[in-house]
Structures are given as C-alpha cells and as structure tokens.
Structure 1
Amino acid sequence: MKNKTSKKTSDKKISRKTIFGLIAVVVVFAVVSVAMLPLIHLLSSEHGQQVIIDKMQSFGIFAPLLFVLLQVLQVVIAVIPGGPVPIIGGILFGQWGGLFLSLAGFFLGTVLVYYLVQWIGRPLVDRFVSESHFKKFDFLLDGKRTE
C-alpha cells in the first residue's frame, strides 16, 4: 500500500526545471510590466497621448507598423490601457485606417496569446491538475450537451 501512495505523490512532484521555468515566466512578465509603466502613464493622460502621437508621426512610413505593434503589446500585456490606443490610431491614420490597423493589431495579439497559452498553458496546468480532474469537464467537449 505504501508503494502506491509514494508513487502517486512522486508523480505529482514538480521538477526543479518546472519551478525555474515558472519563476522565469513570472520574472519576464514582471520586468515587461515594469518596463511598460512609462507607456501606461503616457497613455493615461492627454498630454502623454499627444507625446505618443508626435513620436509615432516621426517614424513616417513605419508608423503603421509601430502602431500595430503597440496594439499587439496592449493585447498581450493586460496592464496597458486599451481605450486610448485605438483613439490614437484614429487620430493618426483616420477613421478607417485606424480601425483597420487596430483590428490587425487585435488579431495578431490574440493569435500570439492563443499560441502562448497552447505552448505554456496546458503543459503548465498538467503539472498542477490531475487528469481525473480534467475528466470531470469532458462534457464540455460534447457539442450537443453544451448547447
């Protein structure tokens, strides 16, 4: 009986590699969030938004690419306020150009988040949640039952 219990507890043990990986992910997100604080502060005020608009206009033909990258960052890093970014796009590129570039940034950011979760999310959750717990929610995979 002891062998079965010790085997179950050893299966749930988390490896050092996993712990270091988790710490690395948390540190990267913390560093990026702290690095984004000046941008968040700028986006939160009208003067800061004007500074960003002036800076983006100085990039000339690369401004749309920079704006899409800003929109992707806003989607991926949740602490960046989402309201001012599309407004800046509308001011810079007009109503339809700003809409198109905002949607492109939203799409690319969402795809990036989706693949990050696929790459990191499930393997990470598998380390902490047992397969039997997942089986309780198998009914969600049945389309007829979820309707």
Structure 2
Amino acid sequence: MKNFIIMSWREQRLFLEAYCLTGIVRLAIILFPFRRIAPFLGKYMAESSMLEDSVKLAIARRIGQLVTKASRFTPWESKCLVQAMVCKIMLRRRKINSTLYMGVGRDKIKGLVAHAWLRCGKTIISGAQGIKNFTTVGKFADLDGG
C-alpha cells in the first residue's frame, strides 16, 4: 500500500472516505431490501445532464478511480453496485450531479447477470466495463447539484 503514502493528504482523505463508505453501503445492501435503499439514490428513471463543468468532472473522475482502488482492499464484497453507490454518495456530498444505472444482461456461463454503473456528464465514472452488454432496467439521478 505504498501508493497510499505517496498520495497527497487530500487524496488520502478521499481514499479513506471511499473505503469507509464501501463498508457502510455493503452493510446497507445486506440489511435492507432494495426498495428501502432506492429513495436515497435519487429520482427514479430520471437522468442528470450530459453537460458537466470540467472541474467537477475532473473531481468525479478522480473519485471514481479512488473508489475502484479502495474497493480492491476491502475484506467485504465491493462490486459494481457498491462502487456506483459510493461514488454517487461522494459526488452528492460535493454537489456534483450523476446518474446511477442498473442493468441486466446474458452471460453464456452465468445466465442472467446484473451490473451497475455511474455517469457524470458524458463520462462513466464507475462500472464502465462491458456496459454495452446490459439493458438498463432502472436509473436514479441527482438533479440540481446533488
């Protein structure tokens, strides 16, 4: 974890925030039915703007990178839904709009599979891998600054 030591204190703080939030979000997913969590994700079946300020977009990209990195070190499962939700929470705290998407697709081995990803502006911040293979079944948007 030597990369943590060479991060700026701001990035270290973001990394620790992401790490802690992955645990909280994972616990919420385990303890509560999705219908109880969904209202906190934003406006259902709405989309945030495709336009975003370049400074906010740069912050969003970095948060996405740090959430992905933090998720690799958690002793609990921190897959796509956890990562997308953590990114959404962190962006919302910084008044940056985003849309969380949930999709389903087919896998030759696993059959029906689900995936979640987060978009800010035109950029996929989290869960970008393979999204073209998924059909969106739900989306939750933060509008007007989170």
One fold, TM greater than 0.5?
no
* Structure richer in strand, relative to its length: 2
How does the TM-score come out when normalised to structure 1? Answer: 0.31
* Higher helix content, 1 or 2: 1
* Higher RCO structure, 1 or 2 (CA under 8 Å, sep 6+): 2
TM-score (norm 2): 0.31
